[in-house]
């Protein structure tokens, strides 16, 4: 009896690349999670550990990132991007016989701002849930409205520098970065005579418009600006609580491949993430008791 090697394939799964087209206004983005798998003449690496023909999965990740810049207009659609990548692997790497590229593309819509689609701020399509918590002690009802999983992103107008540095600080300061977060927010009403639907729409419009229009020096500052705008716009709202994961987008270093990257190709990192939480309130806001806000938010 002989033991033989059957079918094999290998590749890099789930490279999350965000490409910003920013050489014109409005900016455009594509957001792809790309998986590469190849088959071919790879028996040596399995049988003897001879890696001479083994294209590294790290190189596959690099190819995805570099092609996000180099593949030109093909990047704009996942089909043409996948086709360009697949053809590269079979045409340019002799030992690859078949290449399989899978892409999950996330659609983003422009955030409305002042009634107009914003040129460089986006929200993830269909992402959010409207939430409400009502507590009633027999005398008073507290209505806390909210939103969960509202994913928003801006391709510019965000800086982060001048921060405290110590032995473990390695983060490079930046004057231009992608800022993205998944907004969870809850807000307390002091008036029950409210058109709830309109009020919710208005809060979201204020929140979105502020995120889009505010030039940010930190996500913490954006949190405050959004809360301030919501209460300023709707004084019947006494308090807003935010939980904002900082969805980091790291600039990919394409210089080893001779490709320039002027804030165009980003790795959308999954975890860890900064977690920015805070409350903005009127100083005369009533105490709603311990459980009017859903404590699951992080308090
Ligand atoms: O807006 C930010 N706030 C931070 O506190 C922080 N920390 C960090 O590493 N990046 C950022 N960004």
Do 216 and 153 form a contact (C-beta atoms < 8 A)? Answer: no
**ipTM value greater than 0.95:** yes
Letter string b/e over residues 224-245, b meaning 16 or more CB atoms within 10 A of that residue's CB: bbbbebbbeebeebbbbbbbbb
CA neighbours closer than 13 Å in the CB half-sphere of residue 14: 3
Instruction: Please give the pLDDT value at position 289.
Output: 86
The better pLDDT of the pair 295, 263 is held by 263
**Ligand 1 pocket test, candidate residues 218, 249, 250, 275, most atoms within 8 A of CB:** 218
List, as one string, the DSSP characters of 186-219.
EEEES-S---HHHHHHHHHHHHHHHHHHS-BS-H
Reported as a single tens digit per residue, the pLDDT across 239-273 is 999 999 999 999 999 999 999 999 999 999 999 99
**Distance, CA of 121 to CA of 213 (rounded, Å):** 8
Contacts of 160 (CB under 8 A, 6+ apart): 173, 174, 177, 217, 218
Instruction: Please give the pLDDT value at position 35.
Output: 96
Do 124 and 92 form a contact (C-beta atoms < 8 A)? Answer: no
* Residue nearest ligand 1's atom 12 by CA: 218
Do 226 and 244 form a contact (C-beta atoms < 8 A)? Answer: no
**Is 12 a residue of the active site?**
yes
In DSSP terms, 243 is beta-bridged to 184, 277
Contacts of 79 (CB under 8 A, 6+ apart): none
**Is 222 a residue of the active site?**
no
* Residue nearest ligand 1's atom 8 by CA: 274
Query: Six-digit token pair at 226?
Result: 């959004």
Candidates 61, 248, 249, 267; catalytic one = 248
Reported as a single tens digit per residue, the pLDDT across 122-165 is 999 988 999 999 998 889 889 999 999 999 999 999 999 999 99
> What percent of the chain shows pLDDT beyond 90?
90
Q: SS3 sequence, 129-165?
A: EEEEEEEECCCCEEEEEEEEEEEEEECCCECECCCCC
Alpha carbon of 127 to ligand 1 centroid (Å): 24
- Of the candidates 105, 242, 249, the one whose C-alpha atom is nearest the C-alpha of residue 182 is 242
pLDDT-derived band at 115, boundaries 50, 70, 90: confident
- In the numeric block, the tokens 């590469």 are attached to 36
Respond yes or no on whether the N-terminal peptide bond of residue 272 is cis (omega within 30° of 0): yes
Give the nearest ligand 1 atom to 248 CA: 10
Reported as a single tens digit per residue, the pLDDT across 4-63 is 999 999 999 999 999 999 999 999 999 999 999 999 999 999 999 999 999 999 999 999
Give the nearest ligand 1 atom to 219 CA: 1
Instruction: Please give the pLDDT value at position 298.
Output: 55
Query: Any residues with Cβ below 6 Å from ligand 1, and which?
Result: 160, 171, 218-220, 246, 274
- Of the candidates 298, 276, 279, the one whose C-alpha atom is nearest the C-alpha of residue 287 is 279
Instruction: Please give the pLDDT value at position 299.
Output: 47
**Distance, CA of 284 to CA of 238 (rounded, Å):** 8
Tally: H helices and E strands in the chain: 5, 12
Instruction: Please give the pLDDT value at position 295.
Output: 81
| Torsion-angle region of 129 (φ positive above 0: left; ψ -120 to 50: alpha; else: beta) | beta
- Of the candidates 112, 267, 279, 247, the one whose C-alpha atom is nearest the C-alpha of residue 182 is 247
Reported as a single tens digit per residue, the pLDDT across 183-231 is 999 999 998 899 999 999 999 999 999 999 999 999 999 999 999 999 9
**Is 154 a residue of the active site?**
no
């Amino acid at each position: 009896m002989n033991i033989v090697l059957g079918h094999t394939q290998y590749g890099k799964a789930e490279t999350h690349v965000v490409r910003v087209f920013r050489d014109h206004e409005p900016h455009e983005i594509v957001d792809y999670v790309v998986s590469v798998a190849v088959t071919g003449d790879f028996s040596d690496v399995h049988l003897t550990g001879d890696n001479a023909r083994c294209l590294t999965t790290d190189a596959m990740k690099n190819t995805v990132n570099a092609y996000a810049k180099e593949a030109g207009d093909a990047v704009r659609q996942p089909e043409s991007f996948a086709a360009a990548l697949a053809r590269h692997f079979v045409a340019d790497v002799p030992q690859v016989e078949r290449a399989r590229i899978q892409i999950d593309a996330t659609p983003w819509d422009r955030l409305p701002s002042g009634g107009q689609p914003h040129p460089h701020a986006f929200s993830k399509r269909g992402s959010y849930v409207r939430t409400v918590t009502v507590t009633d002690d027999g005398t008073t009802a507290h209505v806390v409205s909210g939103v969960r999983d509202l994913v928003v992103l801006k391709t510019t107008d965000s800086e982060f520098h001048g921060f405290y540095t110590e032995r473990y600080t390695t983060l490079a300061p930046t004057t231009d970065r992608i800022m993205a977060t998944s907004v969870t927010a809850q807000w307390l009403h002091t008036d029950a005579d409210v058109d709830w639907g309109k009020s919710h729409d208005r809060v979201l419009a204020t929140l979105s418009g502020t995120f889009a229009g505010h030039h940010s020096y930190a996500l913490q500052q954006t949190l405050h600006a959004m809360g301030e705008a919501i209460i300023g716009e709707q004084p019947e709202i006494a308090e807003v609580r935010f939980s904002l994961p900082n969805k980091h987008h790291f600039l990919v270093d394409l210089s080893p491949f001779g490709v320039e990257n002027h804030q165009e190709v980003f790795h959308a990192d999954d975890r860890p993430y900064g977690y920015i939480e805070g409350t903005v309130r009127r100083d005369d806001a009533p105490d709603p008791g311990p459980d009017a806000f859903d404590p699951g938010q992080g308090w």
